[in-house]
Chain A
Amino acid sequence: MNLGKVFGEVSPLLFQGLWITLEVTVLSLLMAFILGLCSCFMALSKRAVLRGLSKVYVGIIRGTPLLVQVIYIQYAIPQLLQYAGFDVRFTPFFAGFVTLTLNAGAYLSEIFRGAINAVNPGQMEAARSLGLSHAQAMKIVVLPQALRICLPSLVNQFIITLKDSSLISVIGLADIMYQAKIYVGRSMESFATYTWVALFYFVIIAILSHISKTVEKKVMI
């Protein structure tokens, strides 16, 4: 039980890893937000092809574990590309970024879809009756309300993605978890190290939750 001593040694490594964790999470979430919106609009589209595409995408992501997805993208896809004659290799950061983006995008797509459906249809009707097009009504009437509705689920997904990013360490991305594993391998201090790792995540998420609560209060109607 050398919590103090271990902290002294491991914290620079964990902070290094934390930076990577935040970087991959934030980048993925930004892209996932856009991807999720696109997939959600496809799901709500009149065209069966677009609806189908969105359904397949969400279905595949929801139907497979994240750990499988990340390994698949890091190792299986490059091999497939090799068969096709392309010699491509992904860095762990890139593969992790793509995986988290695809993963969070699918869940966000469902979150957005639910929120848009939760906006009273009378809102769309009122906007259309004023002569706005469907797209205009969506942009200035429905979406602003839907985003408020889904804010708690959105934050929840951000937190899940942040935590899920720890799985990316299996393909060698030097995030918090990866740094911790390396340190434990050297020092055998499992208990102290992983306690600090858990605390790191806990504190970041507590800060995130606090910020989101404040934002929520500000934008609620």
Chain B
Amino acid sequence: MTAQIIVNNLHKYFGKLEVLKGISLEIQRGQVVCVIGPSGSGKSTFLRCINRLEEPTHGDITVDDILITDPKVDLNKVRRNIGMVFQQFNLFPHLTAKQNIMLAPLELKLKPKREIEQKALELLERVGLSEKADVRPRQLSGGQQQRVAIARALAMEPDIMLFDEPTSALDPEMVGEVLAVMKELASIGMTMVVVTHEMGFARDVADRVLFMDGGIIMEEAPPAEMFSNPKNPRTIEFLNKVL
């Protein structure tokens, strides 16, 4: 069986600055991959290339057998299948939690409105926020906003979820509630790529952990091995600082 996400020799320049210096990687269906590494190592850029929020400079990315780096690809269609959760939540502030979740399925006319609304309410229940359906993002805590953002991404029924430091903007006591939702997703077999500083989450939930530094994957291992027996000196130095 071919991998669900195949990244081949991915390079990304911002102007003259080379941020990704040749990333190659395969992710199987249902795998949870955590990407760790210092700031500026290219983790987020790598993640954002997977749904082409960043335009790769060269290299290929294949998702579900579709070459998404093909200039002719229907990006909007590809992206429906790849949910994304942002560090800053990016909820739509002028809409309620429920409207946030319903917006894209409604605009894209994926289903009748009643079904979309039903689904939105189910998702809110799933992330534990049923009572917040008609509340605007401003009145929600960071953790609640991020859970709504996850529900919003799930409303498109994606096969893959990308998480870009989903807990980095949260107060410490709210990290747990977001990670719990992510764990639940992992347990039902969602393919997930998670850029994170939460080493505990990576250890408990990830199938593989990637350590990135300077635009390349320095080390890749199952979490047990990565955290107890890292090989690369840079990995050792980094883990010593954060653990």
- A111–B91 Cα distance when bound, in Å, is 24
Residues in B139-156 with C-beta less than 8 Å from chain A: 149, 152-153, 156
- A122–B156 Cα distance when bound, in Å, is 19
Interface string of A128-172 (1 = CB under 8 A from B): 111111001000110011001000000000000000000000000
A120 contacts the other chain (CB 8 A): yes
Partner of B90, one of A126, A132, A133, A221: A126
For the complex formed, measure the closest distance between the CB of B83 and the CB atoms of chain A, giving whole angstroms: 8
The interface residues of chain A lying within 8 Å CB-to-CB of B93 are: 145, 221
For A220, the closest partner residue in chain B by CB is: B94
- Counted as pairs of residues, one from A and one from B, with CB atoms less than 8 Å apart, the total is 63
Residues in B20-44 with C-beta less than 8 Å from chain A: none
Residues in B97-148 with C-beta less than 8 Å from chain A: 103-104, 107-108, 136, 138
Partner of B79, one of A120, A128, A145: A128
For the complex formed, measure the closest distance between the CB of B81 and the CB atoms of chain A, giving whole angstroms: 8
For A122, the closest partner residue in chain B by CB is: B90
Partner of B53, one of A128, A133, A140, A148: A128
- A136–B106 Cα distance when bound, in Å, is 11
Contact B79 A126 (CB under 8 A): no
B80 contacts the other chain (CB 8 A): yes
Residue of A129, A140, A141, A145 with highest tally of chain B CB at under 10 A: A129
- A132–B155 Cα distance when bound, in Å, is 13
**Interface size counted on chain A using CB atoms at 8 A:** 19
Residue of B84, B104, B108 with highest tally of chain A CB at under 10 A: B104
For the complex formed, measure the closest distance between the CB of B5 and the CB atoms of chain A, giving whole angstroms: 16
The interface residues of chain A lying within 8 Å CB-to-CB of B69 are: none
The interface residues of chain B lying within 8 Å CB-to-CB of A129 are: 51, 53, 79, 82-84, 153
For the complex formed, measure the closest distance between the CB of A127 and the CB atoms of chain B, giving whole angstroms: 7
- A122–B90 Cα distance when bound, in Å, is 6
B240 contacts the other chain (CB 8 A): no
Contact A130 B152 (CB under 8 A): yes
For the complex formed, measure the closest distance between the CB of A24 and the CB atoms of chain B, giving whole angstroms: 33
- A20–B146 Cα distance when bound, in Å, is 53
Contact B107 A122 (CB under 8 A): no
A9 contacts the other chain (CB 8 A): no
- A126–B146 Cα distance when bound, in Å, is 13
B241 contacts the other chain (CB 8 A): no
For A120, the closest partner residue in chain B by CB is: B90
For the complex formed, measure the closest distance between the CB of A200 and the CB atoms of chain B, giving whole angstroms: 37
Contact B108 A132 (CB under 8 A): yes
For the complex formed, measure the closest distance between the CB of B121 and the CB atoms of chain A, giving whole angstroms: 18
Evaluate whether A145 and B84 lie within 8 angstroms (CB atoms) in the complex, with A128-B79, A132-B76 already known.
no
B77 contacts the other chain (CB 8 A): yes
- A125–B149 Cα distance when bound, in Å, is 13
The interface residues of chain B lying within 8 Å CB-to-CB of A136 are: 107-108
A123 contacts the other chain (CB 8 A): yes
For A134, the closest partner residue in chain B by CB is: B76
Chain A residues in the interface with B (C-beta under 8 A) = 120, 122-123, 125-133, 136, 140-141, 144-145, 148, 221
Chain B residues in the interface with A (C-beta under 8 A) = 51, 53, 76-77, 79-80, 82-84, 86, 88, 90-94, 103-104, 107-108, 136, 138, 149, 152-153, 156
**Chain A to chain B contacts (Cβ below 8 Å), 11 pairs:** A122-B86, A122-B90, A126-B90, A127-B103, A128-B79, A129-B84, A130-B80, A130-B153, A131-B80, A132-B104, A145-B93
